[in-house]
Structure 1
Amino acid sequence: MPNRSAWLALVSACALTVGAAPAPSPATYSEQDFDRLPKFDAHFHANRYDPGALATARRDRFELLSINVDYPDFPPLPEQAAIAERMRGDDSIHFQFTTAFSMDGFGTPGWSERTIRTIDAAVAKGAVAVKVWKNIGMIASDSAGKRVFLDDPRFDPVMKHLEERGIPLIAHQGEPKNCWLPLDQMTTDNDREYFREHPEYYMYLHPNEPSYEQLMSARDRFVARHPRLAFDGAHMASLEWSVDELARFFDRYPNAVVDLAARLSNLQVQSNADLPKVRAFFIKYQDRIMYGTDLTDSPPDPHARAQNPPATDDFPGQEDRVWRADWRYLATPLSQHVDAINADAKGLGLPREVINKIYWANAHRFFRLTPPSKV
């Protein structure tokens, strides 16, 4: 038997071990945490009925918001709506959708009333928001042939209806600022590829069209005129090139949030230059940012033009790869190679409480889904 002093020391050490407080949880999540935490992709496009995509979302613990949009490269709006309603019927927990309206007939008598009826019918079938697209400002004209911008007062009856019913608006206005630059001056390869394949939207080729600044000013006037409207600026509100500019937007318009869809590479350019600044931006505005990808599930088409993210014959595999790569960048401090910027990018390693909001709670609150539970 050990001597008395040695025995007392052993007992004391055991007591300290048993009574010690548990070690604090890590400040950030790991890559392995991806598989156990609930997440929400607030910018997704289901352009075909695809149970496999939904199965991958369930496995990866993602809820999806499929955004219907009046985009010529997508199926017609009624077809998008039918697909979304069918997939939500399969799984109303993991799949939500938005509606959209056509600009056909804008400026003619009865347009507002017809549009409101279209929105209300879609909401009755489960739509949780309305999407307006970049055709407003860049393409659409009224019945007199005049270009229509989002701050046009003829939208006011529709927007007043959304305000009264508490229906959020998702607005894709303008394009990345790269759109107004020569190809060799663009900051990311994904923008370069997209605009090379979509010259009609490549504003550098169309100097007589509205400038980036004109489109952003029209959007800002619209947001200012509708302070009660729940406003989501899609694609980082087309301010992806500068977290400083996006911070100013947030400060001016407290009713606005943004999603990150298809703009992480633009952020990675900035965080490679000044990671502490980008990380501090996310922490300061943690209640105003929603995770989203712009993942687009379309029927395979060898003649389809470039999309961002790119189209693939293995969409469930692409979902998983994109989601895991984005998690690595936002949630962990780990580095990874990013093809779109032809460089490695170190992760932001955002605090757990910030990730919980960006990846789930903010979307649930903004789109008025089930009350967010503690993660």
Structure 2
Amino acid sequence: MPISIHVSDMEDCYYPLTATSDLGTAGAPWNVYGKEGIWPKAEILATRNRAVAKHPNTIFVGCHVGNLSHDLGEVSRLLDLYPNYHIDISARAWDIGRQPFTARKFFIKYADRIMFGTDLGPSEQMYRGWFRLLETEDEFFRVPDAAWWMNYGLNLPDEVLQKIYYLNATRLFKDMAGGAW
């Protein structure tokens, strides 16, 4: 059974909160800067990576682009290093859409290892934002829950979208549905 693993959080959570933080001041609930007992982000991610390496026969799905959506180069390195590591793209549209050229290449290269996901709830606005980001060439638009970043559509090919939206989840989670998928 695959393990969905959420460790650390977005990069800005580890720095002083400002109006120009990724989520603006709305990111306060997730900000851990200066709080006691919080491990450094690098240490948290290294611990996750050791777990993935230690269990090569277990599928791990890193939530929120492995909480490295700001660094697709590092996510690429992890996907290349660990064949059992996959990611979902939940709640990271603003990071993906502000690096459209890199993100498009990344999504095409790793199409078999990326899944759509959300922890924002099933709202029409959320889905419209993701569809616009993943499926169009639209420029300079805001996605839901982005404080101030402008985004650019990736215009992903249909075969990549099908994998991300449902084929990868069907493949990875088929045993959980009793073969009903």
Instruction: Provide TM-score, normalisation by structure 2.
Output: 0.88
| CA distance, structure 2, for counterparts of residue 343 and residue 235 of structure 1 | 17
| CA distance, structure 2, for counterparts of residue 255 and residue 171 of structure 1 | 13
2:114 maps to amino acid: I
CA displacement 1:271-297 (0-9 Å, x = unmatched): 2xxx2221101100000100112124x
Specify the alignment match of 1:159 in structure 2.
Answer: none
**How many correspondences in the alignment?**
176
| CA distance, structure 1, for counterparts of residue 154 and residue 95 of structure 2 | 14
Verify: 1:242 aligned to 2:76, yes or no: no
Specify the alignment match of 1:13 in structure 2.
Answer: none
| CA distance, structure 1, for counterparts of residue 119 and residue 9 of structure 2 | 14
Deviation at 1:182, TM superposition (A): 1.2
Verify: 1:277 aligned to 2:78, yes or no: no
Asked whether the equivalents of residues 187 and 266 of structure 1 are also in contact (C-alpha less than 8 Å), the reply is no
**SS of residue in 2 equivalent to 1:184:** coil
2:156 maps to amino acid: L
Verify: 1:189 aligned to 2:42, yes or no: no
The match for 1:212 among 16, 19, 41 is 41
| CA distance, structure 2, for counterparts of residue 210 and residue 343 of structure 1 | 28
| CA distance, structure 2, for counterparts of residue 264 and residue 257 of structure 1 | 17
| CA distance, structure 2, for counterparts of residue 366 and residue 178 of structure 1 | 31
Asked whether the equivalents of residues 113 and 168 of structure 2 are also in contact (C-alpha less than 8 Å), the reply is yes
Deviation at 1:187, TM superposition (A): 4.2
Deviation at 1:268, TM superposition (A): 2.1
**SS of residue in 2 equivalent to 1:248:** helix
Deviation at 1:221, TM superposition (A): 0.4
Verify: 1:254 aligned to 2:83, yes or no: yes
Asked whether the equivalents of residues 22 and 149 of structure 2 are also in contact (C-alpha less than 8 Å), the reply is no
Deviation at 1:205, TM superposition (A): 2.1
Deviation at 1:259, TM superposition (A): 0.6
Verify: 1:177 aligned to 2:2, yes or no: no
Deviation at 1:252, TM superposition (A): 1.1
Relative distance call for 1:214 and 1:226 in structure 2 (3 A) is same
Unmatched tracts of structure 1, length 5 or more:
1-166, 297-317
The match for 1:352 among 144, 152, 158 is 158
Relative distance call for 1:255 and 1:181 in structure 2 (3 A) is same
CA displacement 1:91-143 (0-9 Å, x = unmatched): xxxxxxxxxxxxxxxxxxxxxxxxxxxxxxxxxxxxxxxxxxxxxxxxxxxxx
1:337 maps to amino acid: R
| CA distance, structure 2, for counterparts of residue 219 and residue 213 of structure 1 | 10
**SS of residue in 1 equivalent to 2:112:** coil
Deviation at 1:337, TM superposition (A): 2.7
Structure 1 residue runs of 4+, over 3 Å off?
369-372
Asked whether the equivalents of residues 177 and 241 of structure 1 are also in contact (C-alpha less than 8 Å), the reply is yes
Specify the alignment match of 1:89 in structure 2.
Answer: none
Asked whether the equivalents of residues 259 and 291 of structure 1 are also in contact (C-alpha less than 8 Å), the reply is yes
Larger radius of gyration: 1
Within 5 Å, give how 1:215-230 maps onto structure 2. 215-230=44-59
| CA distance, structure 2, for counterparts of residue 185 and residue 334 of structure 1 | 26
Asked whether the equivalents of residues 365 and 371 of structure 1 are also in contact (C-alpha less than 8 Å), the reply is no
The match for 1:265 among 88, 91, 94 is 94
The match for 2:125 among 318, 321, 328 is 321
| CA distance, structure 1, for counterparts of residue 157 and residue 5 of structure 2 | 29
Deviation at 1:265, TM superposition (A): 1.1
**SS of residue in 2 equivalent to 1:232:** strand
| CA distance, structure 1, for counterparts of residue 79 and residue 89 of structure 2 | 14
Specify the alignment match of 1:293 in structure 2.
Answer: 118
Unmatched tracts of structure 2, length 5 or more:
none
| CA distance, structure 2, for counterparts of residue 344 and residue 186 of structure 1 | 13
Relative distance call for 1:254 and 1:185 in structure 2 (3 A) is farther
Instruction: Provide TM-score, normalisation by structure 1.
Output: 0.44
Q: Percent identity?
A: 34
Within 5 Å, give how 1:138-153 maps onto structure 2. none
2:15 maps to amino acid: L
Specify the alignment match of 2:137 in structure 1.
Answer: 333
